[in-house]
């Protein structure tokens, strides 16, 4: 059963198409892969189901996969991150798109159901909502979401769907965590490539892409000056460290809150103040969470915050800032700007939440700069090709992107930027591989 697209406004297609064309100026690696896929058709006849933020870069990835011979169905990986003009452009090209900005939770899962109804053989996720829905259906794990998914998939046989599945790809840290949890329980149903963990992804997309775009989101939402601000960043992992360093570059005074002692020490030695959230809550003017964890900022912290504190999240789910606590403690809530909600607490203090606590870079800005997504999505395209060409041969588990693909993406990116890598001489390569040489 192939569904018709479900988008906000088809008349936006031309605007979307122009923005996608513009983005191609910044995605040279994807364009190179597109040319090869067009010639070689490595995905011929395959159905791919994608659950990704529907942005211009994603549209280019979809084009690459389609040029490779695949049929693609796509839904959003966040109810608020879809760019409606891009969704319209994709739908006008004939891709099945089930995505619009501002979905209810019900609509979000209905769209996931529609992708499943198109019977994908490869899944591509950002946050694992598509693949975990398949697993919940397969294992009959009752959940609110399935109530929305079931009516949409009708008589789809999930066992058959899983039986025909070649593999999956996962884009982000949070998704990989969820997949590893499934694998640990011995319940993962098919091989999944952890695209997030490739070096040419996590060393660039997470710190550099989110580092820039999260600040872009904060600035677009508030118009605030960062120089001189007291900013608290929760999490000093790949994402948080990039945000903290870029904030410092803009002149902010940055405090890091980190639960891992080694990373906390790294933050300290990188020159940041390191405190508990309890202490930092009392002085911060702007808070940005990037931990992948829940309730990082919660009631006990809201109690301590100064009037006017601004709260933003760059982690995958809208659970890092505890919205339930915020609601309970507030006597009034009002949207005062498109991306800013004001919560008035009982004692009159005002706290401002950006983008409903969802990914601030995608909800309040346009997500990562295309140059960075070029690498992440090139890895996605190459990983899909890897799955297709190794159909039936890969073990069920969370798999690494093969090293040669990881390095290929970095090489192609370097080439596109006019840089060169040093080639080792035979002697040097041998020297690094051998154990015999010692002190002379």
Interface with ligand NAD (CB under 6 A): 172-174, 206, 210, 234-240, 257-260, 263, 290-293, 296, 314-316, 359, 361
Q: Give the separation between CA 286 and CA 436, rounded to whole angstroms.
A: 55
Find the shortest distance in angstroms from Cβ 308 to ligand NAD.
23
Find the shortest distance in angstroms from Cβ 120 to ligand NAD.
22
Find the shortest distance in angstroms from Cβ 325 to ligand NAD.
14
Q: Give the separation between CA 431 and CA 350, rounded to whole angstroms.
A: 63
43 vs 290 by CB, closer to ligand NAD: 290
Walk across the sheet containing 286-289 and list its strands: 273-274, 253-257, 230-234, 286-289, 310-313, 350-354, 340-345, 330-337
Walk across the sheet containing 96-98 and list its strands: 96-98, 71-75, 47-51, 122-125, 167-170, 192-194, 398-399
121 vs 378 by CB, closer to ligand NAD: 378
Q: Give the separation between CA 137 and CA 405, rounded to whole angstroms.
A: 33
Residue nearest to ligand NAD (CB): 237
Helix (H) or strand (E) holding 379: helix 370-389
Find the shortest distance in angstroms from Cβ 290 to ligand NAD.
5
How far apart, in Å, are the Cα atoms of 318 and each of 3, 51, 215, 230, 262?
29, 17, 17, 23, 26
Helix (H) or strand (E) holding 343: strand 340-345
Q: Give the separation between CA 18 and CA 409, rounded to whole angstroms.
A: 26
19 vs 316 by CB, closer to ligand NAD: 316
Q: Give the separation between CA 84 and CA 7, rounded to whole angstroms.
A: 7
Closest CA to 168 of 195, 138, 197: 195
133 vs 206 by CB, closer to ligand NAD: 206
Find the shortest distance in angstroms from Cβ 96 to ligand NAD.
25
Find the shortest distance in angstroms from Cβ 422 to ligand NAD.
29
Residue where the block lists tokens 């549209």: 59
DSSP state of 188: -
52 vs 290 by CB, closer to ligand NAD: 290
Find the shortest distance in angstroms from Cβ 174 to ligand NAD.
4
Closest CA to 53 of 92, 9, 5, 103: 103
265 vs 414 by CB, closer to ligand NAD: 265
5 vs 206 by CB, closer to ligand NAD: 206
83 vs 121 by CB, closer to ligand NAD: 83
What is the β-pairing status of strands 47-51 and 122-125?
A: parallel
Find the shortest distance in angstroms from Cβ 100 to ligand NAD.
20
């Amino acid at each position: 059963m192939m569904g018709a697209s479900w988008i906000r406004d088809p008349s936006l297609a031309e605007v979307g198409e122009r923005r996608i064309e513009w983005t191609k100026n910044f995605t040279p690696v994807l364009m190179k892969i597109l040319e090869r896929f067009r010639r070689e058709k490595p995905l011929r006849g395959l159905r791919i189901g994608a659950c990704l933020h529907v942005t211009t870069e994603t549209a280019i990835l979809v084009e690459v996969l389609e040029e490779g011979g695949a049929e693609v169905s796509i839904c959003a990986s966040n109810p608020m991150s879809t760019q409606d003009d891009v969704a319209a452009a994709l739908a006008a090209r004939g891709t099945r798109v089930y995505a619009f900005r501002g979905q209810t939770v019900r609509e979000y899962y209905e769209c996931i159901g529609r992708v499943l109804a198109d019977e994908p053989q490869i899944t591509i996720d950002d946050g694992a909502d598509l693949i975990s829905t398949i697993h919940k259906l397969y294992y009959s794990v009752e959940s609110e979401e399935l109530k929305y998914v079931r009516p949409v998939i009708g008589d789809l046989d999930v066992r058959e769907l899983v039986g025909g599945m070649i593999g999956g790809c996962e884009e982000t840290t949070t998704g990989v965590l969820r997949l590893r949890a499934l694998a640990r329980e011995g319940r993962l149903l098919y091989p999944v490539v952890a695209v997030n963990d490739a070096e040419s992804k996590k060393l660039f997309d997470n710190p550099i892409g989110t580092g820039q775009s999260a600040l872009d989101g904060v600035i677009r939402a508030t118009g605030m000056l960062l120089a001189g601000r007291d900013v608290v960043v929760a999490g000093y992992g790949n994402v948080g460290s990039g945000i903290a360093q870029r904030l410092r570059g803009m002149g902010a005074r940055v405090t890091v809150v980190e639960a891992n002692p080694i990373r906390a020490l790294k933050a300290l030695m990188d020159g940041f103040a390191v405190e508990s959230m309890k202490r930092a809550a009392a002085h911060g003017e702007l808070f940005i969470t990037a931990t992948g964890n829940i309730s990082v900022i919660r009631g006990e912290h809201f109690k301590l915050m100064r009037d006017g504190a601004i709260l933003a999240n760059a982690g995958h789910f809208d659970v890092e800032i505890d919205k339930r606590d915020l609601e309970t403690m507030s006597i009034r809530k009002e949207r005062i700007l498109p991306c800013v909600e004001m919560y008035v607490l009982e004692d009159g203090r005002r706290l401002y939440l950006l983008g409903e606590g969802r990914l601030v870079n995608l909800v309040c800005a346009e997500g990562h700069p295309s140059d960075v997504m070029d690498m992440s999505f090139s890895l996605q395209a190459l990983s899909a090709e890897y799955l297709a060409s190794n159909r039936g041969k890969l073990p069920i588990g969370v798999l690494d992107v093969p090293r040669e693909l990881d390095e290929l993406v970095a090489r192609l990116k370097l080439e596109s930027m006019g840089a060169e890598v040093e080639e080792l001489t035979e002697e040097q390569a041998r020297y690094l591989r051998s154990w015999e040489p010692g002190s002379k």
